[in-house]
Amino acid sequence: MNSQALYRQGKMKPKQEVKETSKSSLKLKSSYFKAALVIAIIITLGMLFFKRSAKFIPVENERSSEHEFASITLSSGEKVVLNDEKSGVILDGSQFKYNDGSIINRNKTKQFFFDKPFSEILLEKQAFAVIMSPAKRMYRVALPDSTKVWLRANSSLKIPSDYNQSDKRIIQLTGEAYFDVPIKIASSTEMKNVPFVVLTNNQKIETFGTKFNVSAYSNANHVKTTLLEGELRLSSLVNKLWLSVDQVVADPFESVSAGQPIMLKPNQQANLIDSKFYIETVVAEEIVAWKDDEFVFRNTSLEKIMDVISGWHNIKVVYKTERSKHILLGGEIFKNQSLSTVLKGLSLAVKVNFKIVGNKIIVYGL
């Protein structure tokens, strides 16, 4: 199927249900409390995550954890722990190196060391490499077709050995990533441009070249896709399991979705829940601010803010009351701040206390 046919099909009115969602705000019980909250938000924007000398509500038991490192795991079984001083890797053909051009030193232990070079392993049939980013760390990946990927914390990217070969660009994502995909001219006469395909556990994304963000953590009940430029075609997968590379390589555009695909436009976000897409208009630049060392929130519920914080720090959140989830806030969180500092800042703006117990944040109040 050529590129024109692909997008003609995508632009058809989808048969599956697509619901337009509107932003809802919490109804406050009194005008006094509403005014106080607005003031708290304004103060928050200027000092919430900077002020350290104020008398904060105590946050108990700051979590201490072993330092984690980014890694590459090959289909051969070898796991390569990456240098913590490097910010990313480049896959150049079938060879890995750091994004500053330096060589990756592989582990020479009995458990993980293999004699084969990267190039031989990745040239084997059905071979792959999985790049993983640790907690509290973003990692950059440059692919052979010049696609740039920013992997958010606790995310992984699975790259098959035949990526960028025979007019195929197919990868698998768990977690969250921002993609900057260039257009690639196809060598085949059947299609003009080579499609770029991202698979998650229950969604397929297709494009020819664009910028977009995907959040598909395995412990979440949804997949969120946000478009900055160009167009995306989204499909909900039938079995909600990862398709094998072989299944998709045969024909990336054959019908594998639960319903008709939808087309996403710039500044739209698709939220896939139970095989249905819910579309809303968003400020895309704010959603992808995480790749530039900060998280930006505007009229956002405490629950969603805590989802971001817990994902970055790889920690769970437990609420003692349901009401506290719906408090609305705005502001910025810088990623280099400690978990304790962030929670203390939040406690300034709202009547909520936090306690860190092991691998959990307990939220009290309201």
Cβ-based neighbour number of residue 325 at 10 Å: 16
Position 200: which residue type? T
Q: Are 10 and 261 in contact (CB under 8 A)?
A: yes
How does pLDDT run across 98-109, given as a tens digit for each residue?
999 998 877 543
What is the pTM assigned to this prediction? 0.67
**The pLDDT of residue 311:** 79
pLDDT interval class at 126 (50, 70, 90): low
Instruction: Give the mean pLDDT of 257-262.
Output: 70
Q: Report whether pLDDT(252) > 70.
A: no
* Measured CA angle at 282 (ends 281, 286), to 5 deg: 170
Pick the CATH number of 71-282 from 3.20.190.10, 3.40.50.300, 2.30.40.10, 2.60.120.1440: 2.60.120.1440
Q: What is the CATH number of domain 48-63+291-364?
A: 3.55.50.30
CA trace torsion 9, 14, 16, 20 (10° rounding): 140
Domain boundaries, the chain: 48-63+291-364, 71-282
Residue 360 to residue 274: CA distance in whole angstroms:
27
Instruction: Give the mean pLDDT of 253-270.
Output: 73
